[in-house]
Amino acid sequence: MVFPHLEEVGKEFVKTNATIKDGYRLIKTHLPYDMVPQNKKAKYIFVVRNPKDCVVSFYHHTVGFPRHYNFADGHFDTYFNLFLNGQVDHGDYFDFTRKALNHKDDSNVLFLRYENGRANPREYVLQIAKFLNEDIYPAKLLADDERLLNLVLEHSSLDSMKKDPTRWCSDRTGYQPFIRRGSTGGWRELMSVDQADKLQERLEEVFSKEELEFLGELYHK
């Protein structure tokens, strides 16, 4: 009700039921950019995660949720090939990211890297606050010795998310937890050097050198 998932509940639910506070409504989606409803008054935050960690995380999610996927006994090598060929949820990672990256400089778009949020959550939150309303939200977060900012950091931490996962997903009793590690660089546990090289080749085919520099070191190794 507070932060509905658009493709799960549909636009009519969002329109009639989603909570509106101070004239604002929060909506989350995994739709590619060209399928997301557009409005000049809306602000869009896109978060990208490097494909090496992304495919490993997505594999664990798929294996651990047999209610939605017939892949409980699936092997990583099989899933890797599906991911590389764009045959997973939400389609091709590279095409998906390419469409969003084309809009990274739009005035109402904030393009964020997941890795930055893990490395420096405080600055990450303040960056989002500034984007949403530079005149109001940063000052509110920093008032009273950063009381609100510390609350946001506490309740958006992985430890807090693990305590109450139903804030983020449907019931997964008996299955793997929705919140697993949230780390960066953990792909090496499952991925071979050859597989990592294949992802790197795709990155270099789809994105320019400057774009890979913008995306960060995990994208251009």
d(CA 74, CA 71): 5
Q: What is the token pair recorded at 98?
A: 């390419």
Catalytic residue among 5, 30, 103, 220: 30
* Secondary structure (3-state) at 165: helix
Q: What is the token pair recorded at 138?
A: 């940063």
Q: Is 30 a catalytic residue?
A: yes
The CA distances from residue 209 to 22, 215, 220, in Å, are 42, 10, 8
d(CA 179, CA 110): 24
3-state secondary structure 104-123: CCCCCEEEEEHHHHHHCHHH
Which residues form the catalytic set? 30
